[in-house]
A = this chain, B = another copy of it.
Amino acid sequence: MTELLSRLTEYAEGNMIPFHMPGHKRDPGLFLAGGEDLQGLSALYGIDITEIEGFDNLHDPEGILKEAEERAAKAYGSAYTHFLVNGSTAGILSAVSAAASCADLAEKRALLVARNCHKSVYHAAFLNRLHLRYLYPSFDEEYGIGGKIRPSDVREAIRSAREEGLFIAGIVITSPTYEGIVSDIGAIATEAHEFGIPLIADEAHGAHFGFYFEKGVSGGGDAAFVIPENAVRLGADLVIHSVHKTLPAPTQTALIHINGDIVSDDLVRKYLRIYQTSSPSYPLMAGIDAAVSLMAKKGPDLLSRMIGMRQDLQSGISDLRCIKRCPYTEPGKILISVKGAVKDGVPYTGKDLSDELRKSHRIELEMACGTYALGILTVADSPENVKSLAEALRRIDAGLSFASRESASSDASSDASFEDADKMRPEAVIPFYEAYGMDYEEIPLSEAAGRIAAELTGIYPPGSPYLVPGEVWSEGIAARVESDIRNGLHTEGVRDGLVRVLSSPGGQKRFI
Question: Could you tell me if B245 and A21 are in contact, using CB atoms closer than 8 angstroms?
Answer: yes
Q: With A38-B5, A47-B39, A277-B90 as given contacts, are A31 and B294 in contact (CB-CB < 8 Å)? A: yes
Neighbour of A279 across the interface among B46, B87, B105, B380, CB < 8 A: B87
What residues on B are CB-neighbors of A503 within 8 Å?
none
Tell yes or no: A20 within 8 A of B by CB.
Answer: yes
Q: Inside 8 A of A291's CB, which chain B residues have their CB?
A: 23-24
Cβ of A460 < 8 Å from any Cβ of B?
yes
Q: Is A366 an interface residue, CB under 8 A from the partner?
A: yes
A290 touching B38 in the complex, CB below 8 Å, given contacts A278-B463, A279-B244, A437-B101: yes
| A31 cross-chain contacts in B, Cβ below 8 A | 248, 290, 294
Q: How far apart are the CA atoms of A87 and B282 in the complex, in Å?
A: 13
Residue A17 interfacial (CB < 8 Å): yes
Is A428 in contact with chain B by the CB < 8 A criterion? no
Which A residues, 391 to 426, have Cβ-Cβ distances below 8 Å to chain B? none
Over the window 455-491 of chain A, the binary record of Cβ atoms lying under 8 Å from chain B Cβ atoms (1 yes, 0 no) is: 0000011010000000000000000000000000010
Closest CB in chain B relative to A457 CB, distance in Å: 12
Q: Does A27 contact B (CB under 8 A)?
A: yes
Residues of chain B within 8 A of A378, CB atoms compared? 23-25
Q: Which of B22, B30, B119, B376 contacts A379, CB < 8 Å?
A: B30
Q: How far is the CB of A172 from chain B (nearest CB, A)?
A: 15
B279 with A376: CB separation less than 8 A:
no
Once the chains bind, are A364 and B25 in contact (CB under 8 Å)?
no
- In the bound complex, how far is the Cα of B38 from the Cα of A28, in angstroms? 19
Bitwise interface map of A from 171 to 188 toward B, beta carbon under 8 Å scored 1, else 0: 000000000000000000
Q: How far is the CA of A89 from the CA of B388 in the complex (A)?
A: 44
Evaluate contact between A17 and B250: CB separation under 8 angstroms. no
Cβ contact within 8 Å between A297 and B30? no
**A280 contacts chain B at the CB level, 8 A cutoff:** yes
A229 at the interface (CB under 8 A from B): no
Interface hub of A57, A126, A274, A286 (most chain B Cβ within 10 A) = A274
- Interface residue A342 (Cβ < 8 Å from any Cβ of B): no
Instruction: Flag A361-393 by CB within 8 Å of B: 1 or 0 each.
Output: 111111100000001111111000100110000
**One of B19, B90, B380 near A363 (C-beta < 8 A):** B19
Question: Please, which residues of chain B bring their CB within 8 A of the CB of A275?
Answer: 93, 275
Asked if A16 CB lies within 8 Å of chain B CBs, one says yes
CB within 8 Å of B: which A30-72 residues: 30-31, 34, 36-53, 57, 59-60
CB distance from A213 to the nearest CB of B (A): 15
A302 to B362, CA, bound (A): 42
Chain B residue numbers with a CB within 8 Å of A356 are: none
**A361 to B298 alpha-carbon distance, docked (Å):** 42
Closest B residue to A332 by beta carbon equals B23
Q: Which of A7-15, A138-146, A216-224 lies at the interface?
A: A7-15
Q: In the complex, what distance in Å separates the CA atom of A59 from the CA atom of B89? A: 13
Whether B40 and A46, one on each chain, are in contact in the complex, defined by CB atoms closer than 8 angstroms, is yes
In the complex, the chain B residue whose C-beta lies closest to that of A42 is B43
Measured between C-beta atoms, what is the minimum distance from A100 to chain B in Å? 10
Q: A22-B251, A25-B378, A40-B44 are in contact. List 18 more A-B contacts (CB 8 A).
A: A5-B41, A19-B366, A19-B375, A20-B375, A20-B376, A23-B379, A23-B380, A24-B380, A25-B248, A34-B297, A41-B47, A41-B290, A43-B43, A49-B251, A86-B86, A93-B274, A242-B279, A275-B275
Q: What are some 25 contacts across the A-B interface (CB < 8 A)?
A: A14-B362, A15-B362, A17-B385, A19-B363, A20-B366, A21-B245, A21-B376, A23-B207, A23-B246, A24-B248, A30-B302, A31-B294, A34-B298, A39-B47, A43-B44, A48-B250, A57-B460, A59-B492, A85-B252, A101-B437, A245-B279, A251-B282, A252-B281, A278-B460, A278-B463
- Chain A contacts to B: CB under 8 angstroms: 1-2, 5, 8-9, 12, 14-25, 27-31, 34, 36-53, 57, 59-60, 85-90, 93, 101, 105, 118-120, 123, 126-127, 207-208, 242-252, 273-284, 286-287, 290-291, 293-294, 297-298, 302, 334, 358, 361-367, 375-381, 385, 388-389, 437, 460-461, 463, 490, 492, 495
